[in-house]
Amino acid sequence: MLTVVEKTPVSVEAKPVLRVEGLKAYYQMNYFGVRREVRAVDDVSLTIKRNEIYGIAGESSSGKSSLIKTIAGAITPPLRVVEGSVKFDFGGKELDVYAQRPAMKAARWKHLSYVMQGSMNVLNPVRKVKHAFHDFAFKHMGLSEGEFRAKVESHLQRIGLDPRVLESYPHQLSGGMRQRLTIGLATVCEPEFIIADEPTTALDVLVQQDVLALIKGVQQRMGSSIIFVTHDMTVHAAIADRIGIVYAGRLVEEGLTLDVFQRPQHPYTAHLIASLPRIGDTRKRVALGGKPPNLADPPSGCRFHPRCPLAIDKCKTDNPPLEARNNGRVACWRAGEMEAA
């Protein structure tokens, strides 16, 4: 099993809030006696420290959403955890997501919350916003109705929303306000750990920066940790402390944001960074050839080898382990040559 203890400047002694070890989660289907297995999360190990924003990047169908769903314990068959563990540490108490179901249920929203992608889908269109807060958070707070209402109102004020929005229906609010509301909803209990799935993808460009600043601000004030998923590298650049790059269900690189952008160690990461368009630069960007691998039948060896410009024979047969290198981790047989290039 691959577990590497990192040393990074953010919070020195505190125990990590999340520890994922050798996690494998597969979609297992059995149609007419034919077993199909889609390896959406394949041997992922990572730790997330307190007070840290960890970004997960990767293309669609790379398994990044399956990974965070598995971490949240929010999976339903056919997706199953085959191996490995997900352990949280909430206030010194260890909590195994898949071994301690009842304790996990109590911890939800109070310690662990979730910002979902399409804000319109989260808020019930025929009920007022205040009911959403009541449904999600009331029973976790242990307050009376009046105290709860006051707490929600002051919380909304802090994130820049008028408390009057509680009396409105979701369709009366703009996309940016709804996304703020879902963030408000996820943070009202001041959880230690927040999972966010594409928090800004559905938003207009003009409000994107405000929402990102809001996420960062709330995180700093509460000192909680956030793991978020997006394929938009500029969002990672803006708020992530560390980035993990997922390719075909595997973590292929992890490192401090600045390192990943300035000195990518994996050829896939290098390509991702190099293909980003910038205003003021019209030089031709080379797009990655080939197609994303089919996770039901992934390529042998390193899963990136059919599209990799640096692939050698070894890459076709042997799967590179994720190893510590230059203050980060990388899974590539040719990571050494990447540096030289």
CB 106 within 8 A of CB 112: no
Q: Are 289 and 308 in contact (CB under 8 A)?
A: no
Question: In angstroms, rounded to a whole number, what is the distance separating the alpha carbons of residues 89 and 193?
Answer: 10
Q: Which of 238, 252, 308, 331 binds other proteins (CB under 8 A)?
A: 238
- Closer Cβ to other proteins, 97 or 196, answer by number: 196
Contact indicator for 51, 11 with CB cutoff of 8 Å: yes
Q: Is 246 in the site for other proteins (CB under 8 A)?
A: no
Burial of 157 (0-12, 13-18, 19+ CB in 10 A): exposed
- Taking CB under 8 A as the criterion, the residue among 2, 222, 237, 310 binding other proteins is 237
- DSSP track, 57-91: E--TTSSHHHHHHHHHT---TTEEEEEEEEEEEET
- Residue 309 sits in the site that holds other proteins (CB under 8 A): no
Question: Is the Cβ of residue 20 or residue 251 nearer to other proteins in the bound state?
Answer: 251
Least separation in angstroms between CB 174 and other proteins: 10
CB of 15 to other proteins, least distance (A): 26
- Please state the closest distance from residue 280 (CB atom) to other proteins, in A: 6
How far apart CA 211 and CA 139 sit, in angstroms, is 27
Contacts of 119 (CB under 8 A, 6+ apart): 175, 178, 179, 181, 182, 202
Please provide residue 222's backbone torsions phi and psi, each rounded to the nearest 5 degrees.
-90, -15
Residue from the set 272, 295, 322, 331 that interacts with other proteins by CB under 8 A: 272
Residues 31 to 90: which contact other proteins by CB under 8 A?
59-61
Q: Which is nearer to other proteins, 124 or 220 (CB)?
A: 220
Q: How far, rounded to the nearest angstrom, does the alpha carbon of residue 177 sit from its chain's CA centroid? A: 22
- Judged by beta carbon, residue 5 or residue 34, the one nearer other proteins is 34
In the complex, least distance from residue 242 CB atom to other proteins, rounded to whole angstroms: 11
257 binds other proteins (CB under 8 A): yes
CA distance 123 to 116: 10
Q: Whose Cβ is closer to other proteins: residue 22's or residue 118's?
A: 118
d(CA 71, CA 66): 9
CA distance 271 to 292: 14
> Between residue 132 and residue 171, which ones bind other proteins under the rule CB under 8 A?
160
Spatial separation of the C-alpha atoms in residues 36 and 301, rounded to whole Å? 20
Binding residues for other proteins restricted to 204-223, rule: CB under 8 A: 204-206, 208-210, 212-214, 216-217, 220
Q: Which two tokens stand for residue 64?
A: 């990044």
Using CB under 8 A, pick the residue from 157, 275, 326, 327 that binds other proteins.
Answer: 275
**Closer residue to other proteins in complex, CB, 206/340:** 206
- Residues that bind other proteins (rule: CB under 8 A) add up to a total of 48
- Judged by beta carbon, residue 34 or residue 286, the one nearer other proteins is 286
Please identify, using beta-carbon distances, which residue of 29 and 106 lies nearer to other proteins: 29
Please report, as ranges, the residues that interact with other proteins according to CB under 8 A. Answer: 59-61, 160, 175, 204-206, 208-210, 212-214, 216-217, 220, 231-239, 257-258, 261-262, 271-273, 275-282, 284-288, 291-292
